[in-house]
Structure 1
């Protein structure tokens, strides 16, 4: 229990220094209201040569339509593919969004004692926000939420529309995550004057805009600011350590009530911190390891605070899963039992809406994951929407949560300026996702140039910082460097390796895969003595293109490649390989290039979520892996090795 208390205290303390406070997912409660601001917003791109006209002309100071032509833009969505304008699709610079909102009058009453908070789920990449012409916040980073208290900017406006303006800039520099460069092409015999392009070294389209929900929510002026939850097991008792931060009052009482999935009270407590003990808890288990995967309890935190002689009430309910995570030299353990990742890499990507959050698409993808028998995915190559992680918690889908450090291929990306921003991004990511039982590991980068000398100090620092923020989860990054040159590998808990034998290496030569893959695993494990995940492998495949014998880009070639990889994975998973994640779940859009025909085609599903032949092959394998498990979990923490393994049916 001492370890649990220390870990939870470290997690909460490490995240407490940021002035913005907590970042709880907005939930309605008797004391909290939500107002969704999705739908059509006014939109205008700044086409001026320096992209500064919006600031010079103060577009935020008056209705956007008064500054010039505007169009309708759906939120959430990427702006790139909503219109027929090819120039807007590839636009780099500042774009402006605006929406007029009628705020409920009861929120603005002088004696309401109500905070009104504006929250933006994601704006790619840099954003500045105004309310009624007054700047309320700005934020760097395209994949994490940010918010600002805006009540004081609404005083005296009851019954009148409130104007919210958001300026978003998708320009990437060597110091952003992900990084990029702006290249000015100055030969005026070949390019117009002032012509520039955005260069990146990652293989997905740089979609931009307001990608996730925008909303207003309220709390009392004395409120629950943050909740940190960690869990452990001691014998047959589940331990839940909670830490709560309160703002707006120093005179209050606080109670916590833990209820099981049926609403029955499992434990109670009081005060800002404590440990709840639950005899024989139902544990949070991954999909296909338990008849009730993703089992969640609910922790209701109730606050009664005195402010100027008045009693204010606030309540917030945090989903909780009892589970532990540990790593040995050759295993990944969930609840003390070996776990094998058989899953996918994904992208937040779809036709028309780009990276915009889309509920039908999200639910379709989870149905496909269940059909496939996938128990896990990596959030390649950036944090996914909170709504997706909520479903992972509920469905038992295990997540490797990755920050947007992709495309770090140059020495300049490993300097102090990049490092400081990287540390802030990890703080924001952990602050948001720390309570999700589905998140079992942090990934601090994908395919960086980790063989470069500066990478040693850089990743030592980032990984140490991440572990200080959250000592309860292992940390990795995904490498494609040589095993004996990777400067960051000594600091990770799990080795994640990407390789594309017979595709980017020895293209077309399926016969070399097993030899090369076996050598890859042997070399990495001999050098580092850590468990290994094959974090990417795959082949571009044009749906409907067939060839026998199998040739590159055909469905047969993709399936043949997977079979060669699987033969080696089956041998090594009995030793130290702990997982395999196919690249990719579905085809996705990239920048235009001679090697990309409307995007990356390595998906086992098309971009429209139709299966290629490899999807059926992988489905057969994943269900076979699930049913081969000889130690499926029972509902309780103990007696997990059943005499006869339950056979999960493909549905």
Structure 2
């Protein structure tokens, strides 16, 4: 099934918008989250829902349904293997009422999905209103003309999680028909080591805006060292009422400090620059006594002195720079201490979980980390808000994981996802780099021009942040790193090779990274390293999968990191992984990937307390507890 052929989209009502739905004096939001109806398509007739027009009436009238929470992954909600491992078209629907005032002639109504994985067809009252390819990023559409005010409305969504050689990320679906396997037996193999969770993963909103409304803002903030001032550059895109033009409206900016005090008012235009004197800089956690200082920027458009629309952002003034050896934030060297992560939890899968998000940030700060990578896809806007407000630096990664071939279909999708990601997160102070890929087959000759094109595309969209990617191939054949500003390297010495031989870690690490720096002369960090560990298993001498082996390996890695830090070009260490996470079944996975320093339930393994000692000491942080393991020296 080629999803690209199924999704030829013509949508006159689609809205390109990176604005998260929020209430204001002019905007009103309604969440459609809750328990929806759900059904998977039969394996032997995946298109039956379209042929029988399941979208034209309630799902419950065309067959059996089960309750399904939104947001969540559908895979782990039931006891059915057929749903957990399902690949293909799954159907959702729900019903809702609309405030009649929302349907007035001077209002518009927008339907927004924050994430549906992987592809979606959306119907309102039986009409196909929009389609989208790609999980993890938002999409929305104007729907006022499809809604009714005097009765119940129905929202139907068809979701497909099939991945193939042309999707980003890629996968392979092989049918075993005509063999000794059961009828309609298939094997799905993703090109990545995490479970292919699917469904409506993040919140669904219906929101009302004026007929003339702010639909997009490109907003950048910068720190000017000389006079400690902050620079705001902005460009508004406005959806205009048919009877008006841009010249009919006035644009104003209201700047507020962290205490919500108005510090500046500016009468502006649809684009421009604003300078704020003597600002408080946004600093990462543990880098300054007052980290994560945020200002509010409120954009207002008015007509004849009457407010028409209003939207508020939170921004931070900070500057990111790189030299041949250093990564700088606000002119000071920054050293990444953090993790690769996953949006993954028991039962919910990849579904938005605000409770878990807050718990994770408490653990990140407790352990002394200052950063994480959104491996291997964009994380929720709610997660990114927490990073902005708590001073946790983010390497923002697109879904291009495990690319093993390079063609124009994949290239266009890759560029689309990066455009959507940068559009969504451009204003965020926590985001300091764009990661364009994780572990691609970058030794293929076709990778050269492919990543040249991708890197150039990102730099056209954003000149203020470095471009990076995570490399897994060897130095001699890599064709991607030449187009990166900062090089991230994934390595698993004494785990996927030289099993059990911890003494190989330090010489392999130090010697190899010195060769990378000698060739490219740019900052380097380790973006993945680690070992699978089953909590409670101990062995002396240490043995693979034991907690003792994980901690011994970490100490070897730490010694190597310290040697590289002394060389000056090594700018960070991100362990794999923050927490255990689910994967496809296989002989090398004991109920998922166990490389987390926390369990999937967020309980610490011994390595977590060892890592806490290291991270806090690196940052010279003072703590009042002894809840860490510090090795004797």
Q: CA deviation at 1:545?
A: 0.5
Please give the secondary structure, in 1, of the residue aligned with 2:518.
helix
Structure 1 stretch displaced more, 232-241 or 170-179? 232-241
Q: CA deviation at 1:311?
A: 5.6
Corresponding position: 1:397 with 2:387: no
Separation of aligned partners in 1, 2:491 and 2:308: 55
Give the 3 Å change call, closer, same or farther, for CA 263–395 of structure 1 in structure 2. Answer: same
Corresponding position: 1:135 with 2:128: yes
Retained in 1: the 8 A contact 2:17–2:140?
no
Give the 3 Å change call, closer, same or farther, for CA 254–135 of structure 1 in structure 2. Answer: same
Retained in 2: the 8 A contact 1:502–1:512?
yes
Separation of aligned partners in 2, 1:232 and 1:303: 24
Corresponding position: 1:197 with 2:187: yes
- Which residue of 549, 559, 567 maps to 1:567? 559
Q: CA deviation at 1:484?
A: 2.1
- Which residue of 214, 222, 226 maps to 2:212? 222
Corresponding position: 1:316 with 2:311: yes
Retained in 2: the 8 A contact 1:51–1:94?
yes
Please give the secondary structure, in 2, of the residue aligned with 1:484.
helix
After TM superposition, the structure 1 = structure 2 runs for residues 220-619 of structure 1, keeping only pairs within 5 Å, are: 220-234=210-224, 235-236=226-227, 237-248=229-240, 249-250=244-245, 251-269=248-266, 270-305=268-303, 313-409=308-404, 413-574=405-566, 575-619=568-612
After TM superposition, the structure 1 = structure 2 runs for residues 86-165 of structure 1, keeping only pairs within 5 Å, are: 86-109=81-104, 111=105, 113-154=106-147, 157-165=148-156
Retained in 1: the 8 A contact 2:597–2:604?
yes
Which ranges of structure 1 fall in alignment gaps of 5 or more residues?
A: 1-17, 628-645
2:9 maps to none
Which ranges of structure 2 fall in alignment gaps of 5 or more residues?
A: 1-12, 628-633
Separation of aligned partners in 2, 1:649 and 1:435: 36
Q: CA deviation at 1:87?
A: 1.1
- Which residue of 75, 78, 94 maps to 2:73? 78
Retained in 1: the 8 A contact 2:113–2:203?
yes
Give the 3 Å change call, closer, same or farther, for CA 19–465 of structure 1 in structure 2. Answer: farther
Separation of aligned partners in 2, 1:621 and 1:471: 34
With normalisation by structure 1, the TM-score equals 0.91
Retained in 2: the 8 A contact 1:302–1:316?
yes
Q: CA deviation at 1:648?
A: 6.0
1:630 maps to none
With normalisation by structure 2, the TM-score equals 0.94
Deviations 1:472-506 (A, max 9, x none): 11001100111121101100000100000000011
Give the 3 Å change call, closer, same or farther, for CA 649–217 of structure 1 in structure 2. Answer: farther
Q: CA deviation at 1:106?
A: 1.6
Give the 3 Å change call, closer, same or farther, for CA 104–19 of structure 1 in structure 2. Answer: closer
Separation of aligned partners in 2, 1:591 and 1:193: 22
- Which residue of 141, 165, 175 maps to 1:174? 165
Q: CA deviation at 1:312?
A: 5.9
Q: CA deviation at 1:22?
A: 2.6
Retained in 2: the 8 A contact 1:626–1:648?
no
Separation of aligned partners in 1, 2:624 and 2:618: 12
Retained in 2: the 8 A contact 1:288–1:648?
no
Please give the secondary structure, in 2, of the residue aligned with 1:78.
coil
Q: CA deviation at 1:616?
A: 0.1
Q: CA deviation at 1:276?
A: 1.8
Retained in 2: the 8 A contact 1:211–1:355?
yes
Separation of aligned partners in 2, 1:175 and 1:267: 49
Q: CA deviation at 1:649?
A: 5.6
Larger RCO, structures 1/2 (Cα 8 Å, 6+ apart): 1
Q: Which runs of 4+ in 1 moved over 6 A?
A: none
Deviations 1:212-264 (A, max 9, x none): 00010111010112112222233112212222222214210110011111122
Please give the secondary structure, in 2, of the residue aligned with 1:60.
helix
Q: CA deviation at 1:647?
A: 4.2
Retained in 2: the 8 A contact 1:267–1:276?
no
Separation of aligned partners in 2, 1:505 and 1:566: 19
Retained in 1: the 8 A contact 2:300–2:307?
no
Deviations 1:540-588 (A, max 9, x none): 0001101111110000100000100000101212311100000000000
Deviations 1:603-622 (A, max 9, x none): 00000000000000000000
Deviations 1:284-303 (A, max 9, x none): 00001112211100001111
Give the 3 Å change call, closer, same or farther, for CA 252–51 of structure 1 in structure 2. Answer: same
Separation of aligned partners in 2, 1:201 and 1:63: 36
Retained in 1: the 8 A contact 2:14–2:140?
no
1:634 maps to none
Corresponding position: 1:625 with 2:618: yes
Retained in 1: the 8 A contact 2:378–2:398?
yes
The count of residues paired between Structure 1 and Structure 2 equals: 605
Q: CA deviation at 1:19?
A: 7.2
Separation of aligned partners in 1, 2:558 and 2:117: 37
Separation of aligned partners in 1, 2:599 and 2:397: 23
Separation of aligned partners in 1, 2:275 and 2:85: 55
Corresponding position: 1:184 with 2:153: no
Separation of aligned partners in 2, 1:44 and 1:333: 51
Retained in 2: the 8 A contact 1:267–1:277?
no
